[in-house]
Structure 1
Amino acid sequence: MEKTQNTPKKKVLGKGDRVPFMQLLAYGFGGVIPIALFNIAGQLMGLIGNISLGLSALWLGVILIIPRLWDAVSDPIVGHYSDNFRSRWGRRRPFLLIGGIAVAISFVLMWWIPDGQWAHSLFPTESAFQWFQLCYILFWLLIFFTACTVFEIPHGALGMEMTTDIHERTRLFSAKSFLGNLFAMSTPWLFALANMEYFKGTGGNEADGMKYVSMLIAIILIPLSFWWFFTVKEPGFKKVSKQKKTAFWKDVRHTFKNKTFLRLVIIIFTLAMGFNFVNLLGYYIPIYYIFEGDKEAASTLLGINGTIWAVAGLLAVFPLNWISPKIGKRKTLLIAIGLMCLAQLSKIVCYNQDYPFLIIIPTILLSSGMLFFFTLGSSMVGDICDEDDLKTGRRSEGSYYSIFWWFIKMGTALASFVAGLLIVFTQFDETQVTKTDDLKGAVNELINKSESKKDYQTLPLSELFNEAKSVNHEGYKEAKDYLKNLKNKSSELTGKESKQITQILQQKYESLKDTRLKVEFIKSNLYKEQQALQKLDSNTNIDLLKEVIHRNFMLRLELGLEKVRSNVSLLLFHLQAEAIKHKEKSKAHYRVLSENLNDIEEQLEALEINSEVNKLEKKLKALKEQMKLFDKQAPYTLFMMRAVEIGLPLLLCMVSIVFTLRYTLTEKRLYEIKRALEKRNKQITDK
């Protein structure tokens, strides 16, 4: 226990030390941006981009690193500018309003990634379209993370100057962690919401759902931005407003010369980097190991687990504020790292397919440890600013806080890239996932079409005529769009491959060619029906109209069935090619999947579109159950995911412990600094 005769037995706060409750609450709610939304963008964009859009995990890792590298430039600039900014509303508060609104708008736009057949048709190849999607994501991530910086750097610096007491400062950042983690529980629940048909629509996926879920976030965030601006105060602005402005590079050099600060940065950077390396795998393991690819079932567990994470983080605030004043911040930091190590070790047992809810045990330990760790980190930067103020007579919270976060974001940026490499290293097959989703989506669409058959006997003649035109128009448009989609898929069949894979690609080409001919035939028949309809009017014989509707309806079902057959073929060709590439580790896995898919393909070939639509629905639903097998990833992939996700953070925890033991700003020293600052400031005031 770091306590001496010079340390007060009981903390007594002066008038300027205690932060009023409403300001504490408003400041704490500011944690929603750096804790919740910042992580949502980094985690869910990588996950959804990979498993929903089929984008390369490696390239997603690359584009996720670029905004973090941009933060390396923007953070110190915003920190320096906020230190030297002067306005009638203070030097920090205007940033909270502008930054908060910008975060809300950019968070919505980053999820509206162009997709669908109309978007595909604008590009000559599937590869070109995916590069366009990656560029779109990158652009809006840059805007979003810049907006986060504009808000968070002044917000964090403001937290350091709202009180002069070292433990009240911890209380302030604890409120930020508490309320930020309250919103952080939405991260997995957002994934669950995006999986709901209400948001994603029929035949859609998580990427479609997130477009609308993001709007809910913006509706909450914009009013909060105004509340922060009008409620949070800057008690030291009157004094700081007279402080001389300094040059940017001078502030940066001064910050990097502080050895105590650099030790703290290494501690936080190392551990943040270790857990960010594997953060994304924390989603993959429940989905593909515990629930064997059932995203909807896994999303429920992820939502519950996220709630547990948030609750554990919320409750951890209270022991933190009790323990830290008792034993000092450095020893509390060591307890935090110990909790995180224990969490990683417990995953060896708690990643359990028979008892999936065991996952909440490491979640509680890890959430508590991280709450301790990152809350103390921000509070300790404020202590370093006090020490620097004593030496230089200048308050530079913005510069210190921005450089502190510059290092953490650099670690996060590196981790984003490494996370993509790790997913590639585990041989996760995102193409299998997206092609299985396409297949299931096509089956769902066909089932919905078959269920949409109406009882035309009850419709009046005028409505029957309109219905006939509507069914024909929708069918013709669908056939036209699907032909463009098939053309893009055919153009992918190039590249240098082995002889066996080249043969598979040729089979794929011939299969798509056959499908195009069949769809062209269906389109031609729909066009003929369209011409025939133009000759009819609302006075046409009712039986004739019913016959026309029936023919168009059956043509649409034929088109839907061809889509299903085509998606089966595309998935089968992929599985056969992967079985050749993975000669040892996963060959058996792909062979089993291929054999089962061959059986489904035969059943679909025997399936006929006839007047017995109810039988068609039953057969399709039975096939849909069989298709759950194709959600499974290879056993080797699942093992490597768990090994990497558990082991890598443990290794970097050890490094962080070494540097924590060498941190020199003890509790005794902190009280000495506080008394010296109070004495100096009193002398200045008396003069």
Structure 2
Amino acid sequence: MPRMNNSAQLSTGTRAGYALGSLATGAFGTVPGLLLLPYLTDSLGVAAVVAGLLVLLPKAWDVLINPVVGRISDRTVSPWGARRPYLLGGGIAMAVLFAAIFAAPLGTGSDAGLYVAVLFLATATAFAFFQVPYVAMPAEMTDSTDERTRLMTWRIAVLAIAILVSGAVAPLVVNAAGGGVPGHRAMGVFVGVLILLGAFGSFLGTRRAPLGHAVESEPTLRAQIAVARRNKPFVTLLIVFVVQSVGIATMLAGVKYVADHVLGRPDDGPTLLFVAFVAPALLVMPLWIRVGARWGKKRALTIASLIFGAGALALLSAQVAPPVLTYLITAVIGCGYAGQQVFALSMLPDCIAFDEQRTGKRQAGVFTGLWTAGETLGLALGPGIFGLVIAVAGYRSSDTGVAVTQPASARLGILLAFTVLPALLVGLGALLLRRYHLTADQLTVEQVG
């Protein structure tokens, strides 16, 4: 396909329409990481270490399926473009399957845990068919690196709203519907509706956007990896993003456990922590854009990572400090998280554009397939690691829908997995970012790095 010349600004309607897809990605990226692990341990009676594996393995499947989806979408020919058909089909399937995860037709116990794992695997597959084409679209909608940053700002703003609504309201829905299995059934339907809104909104909202067409794509996963390895900025950015995603997901997995066993607020604690984490992101987004414009995306991402890590370490005080101080520290972490998302996601299309200039080929699906595979693996490893840590620390599971009183060792394990581990992982990502050398001025045909 000839190189596009889409340097003009996108319309506000197109930006908003594309951003609506984050309702789907935000809901699916948030709620399983927040509620699936405690649902397995405290409602279905699954042991913590087994529950961690049940959450990890289906999402790890996406490491294999996402690159395949990227290759398929690269080659798709349709009147709606190469990517948009998957926004609709993948989104509808994801919504229905997500609600089914929490239907609990087999009651509690090991069979119920296996049912959750199978349905979660199916939902993760549908999510891949939505997310991979969705993430590929910005590189094809505009050639302007500044416009990509603006587009990502819209996307992250809606993502923050999606995380706030799904993450804060989902626990309230569980409690309002009676808790336990019945409460989680109602929550599954609620989140499924959010996913449907995101799927239809992004599909209809991008109907006038410049879109990609079928292109020649690498035929195998091995060939795709070989293409990506030659793009040094992409490889560095991907490693940074995956490492930091593990840290973020580990913290996310611990929200309900911290609210229950550290703060002693099982009813409103998860919602308040989520509001404190996400709400500031909506306020600081314009500030992050100014920081990025002045100091560059790489330095801004480093600053955001350091803010996140420092805040996570400060949360070690949660066991003795007043809850209000914990919420304030969480708000600082949320400010760092907002910057991490904005700049990592706006740097990805730059890496894709760099590859096109270097090779003469536009293969956005190859890179976004590998990117979303890595992101999904990171988000899956977080709950798996958290479950392993609290299992080693002696966490006691329950099938009553109410968490039982935990020993001091388990409470300490929850706190360390919620604070120190995320801080170390995000800090490691900031160090690795030093190897990233691509800037807006370097988007030329010359090899970078």
TM-score, length basis structure 1: 0.61
- The structure 2 residue matched to 1:180, chosen from 138, 147, 159, is 159
Report the Cα distance in structure 2 between the residues aligned to 1:57 and 1:349, rounded to whole angstroms. Answer: 25
Alignment partner, residue 469 of structure 1:
none
Change (3 A) 1:172 1:255: same
Q: Which has the larger radius of gyration?
A: 1
Change (3 A) 1:217 1:414: closer
Alignment of 1:581-620 (within 5 A): none
Which has the larger displacement, 333-342 or 214-223? 214-223
User: Does 1:34 pair with 2:25?
Assistant: yes
Deviation of residue 223 (structure 1)? 4.6
User: Does 1:383 pair with 2:362?
Assistant: no
Alignment of 1:19-98 (within 5 A): 19-98=10-89
Alignment of 1:601-680 (within 5 A): 631-670=404-443, 672=444
Report the Cα distance in structure 2 between the residues aligned to 1:309 and 1:105, rounded to whole angstroms. Answer: 28
Alignment partner, residue 474 of structure 1:
none
Report the Cα distance in structure 1 between the residues aligned to 2:61 and 2:239, rounded to whole angstroms. Answer: 20
**2:430 aligned partner, one-letter code:** I
Q: Summarize deviations over 1:549-587 as a string: whole Å, max 9, x none.
A: xxxxxxxxxxxxxxxxxxxxxxxxxxxxxxxxxxxxxxx
Alignment of 1:74-473 (within 5 A): 74-114=65-105, 119=107, 130-185=109-164, 186-196=166-176, 199-200=177-178, 205-233=179-207, 235-237=209-211, 241=213, 243-244=215-216, 246-249=218-221, 250-291=223-264, 297-352=265-320, 355-431=322-398, 434=399, 437=402
Change (3 A) 1:304 1:278: closer
Change (3 A) 1:348 1:225: closer
**1:190 aligned partner, one-letter code:** A
Describe the SS at the equivalent of 1:76.
Answer: helix
Deviation of residue 81 (structure 1)? 0.8
Report the Cα distance in structure 1 between the residues aligned to 2:121 and 2:141, rounded to whole angstroms. Answer: 30
Contact 2:305 2:340 in 1 (8 A): yes
Deviation of residue 130 (structure 1)? 1.6
Report the Cα distance in structure 2 between the residues aligned to 1:436 and 1:211, rounded to whole angstroms. Answer: 13
Alignment of 1:446-595 (within 5 A): none
Change (3 A) 1:664 1:144: same
Deviation of residue 345 (structure 1)? 2.4
Deviation of residue 651 (structure 1)? 2.2
The structure, 1 or 2, with the larger RCO (C-alpha pairs under 8 Å, 6+ apart) is 2
Report the Cα distance in structure 2 between the residues aligned to 1:280 and 1:28, rounded to whole angstroms. Answer: 25
Describe the SS at the equivalent of 1:251.
Answer: helix
Report the Cα distance in structure 2 between the residues aligned to 1:242 and 1:152, rounded to whole angstroms. Answer: 18
Report the Cα distance in structure 2 between the residues aligned to 1:408 and 1:242, rounded to whole angstroms. Answer: 25
Alignment partner, residue 3 of structure 1:
none
TM-score, length basis structure 2: 0.91
Which has the larger displacement, 129-138 or 413-422? 413-422
Describe the SS at the equivalent of 1:18.
Answer: coil
Deviation of residue 229 (structure 1)? 1.9
Deviation of residue 78 (structure 1)? 0.7
Deviation of residue 664 (structure 1)? 1.0
**2:334 aligned partner, one-letter code:** S
Alignment identity in percent? 22
Deviation of residue 67 (structure 1)? 1.3
Deviation of residue 235 (structure 1)? 4.8
Aligned residue-pair number: 440
Report the Cα distance in structure 2 between the residues aligned to 1:155 and 1:382, rounded to whole angstroms. Answer: 12
Contact 2:43 2:400 in 1 (8 A): no
Q: Summarize deviations over 1:639-662 as a string: whole Å, max 9, x none.
A: 232233222222223322221122
Deviation of residue 383 (structure 1)? 0.6
Report the Cα distance in structure 2 between the residues aligned to 1:171 and 1:663, rounded to whole angstroms. Answer: 21
Q: Summarize deviations over 1:319-367 as a string: whole Å, max 9, x none.
A: 12211111111100111111112211221234446x2122222221222
Deviation of residue 407 (structure 1)? 1.8
In angstroms, what is the RMSD of aligned CA positions?
2.3
Contact 1:18 1:168 in 2 (8 A): yes
Change (3 A) 1:436 1:183: closer
Deviation of residue 246 (structure 1)? 4.5
Contact 2:52 2:385 in 1 (8 A): yes
Describe the SS at the equivalent of 2:262.
Answer: helix
Contact 1:181 1:313 in 2 (8 A): yes
Describe the SS at the equivalent of 2:266.
Answer: helix
Q: Summarize deviations over 1:84-113 as a string: whole Å, max 9, x none.
A: 111111001100000111111011111101
Report the Cα distance in structure 2 between the residues aligned to 1:639 and 1:85, rounded to whole angstroms. Answer: 51
Change (3 A) 1:184 1:230: same
In structure 1, runs of 5+ residues without a counterpart are: 1-13, 120-128, 292-296, 438-629, 675-687
Describe the SS at the equivalent of 1:279.
Answer: helix
Change (3 A) 1:220 1:188: closer
Report the Cα distance in structure 1 between the residues aligned to 2:391 and 2:95, rounded to whole angstroms. Answer: 32
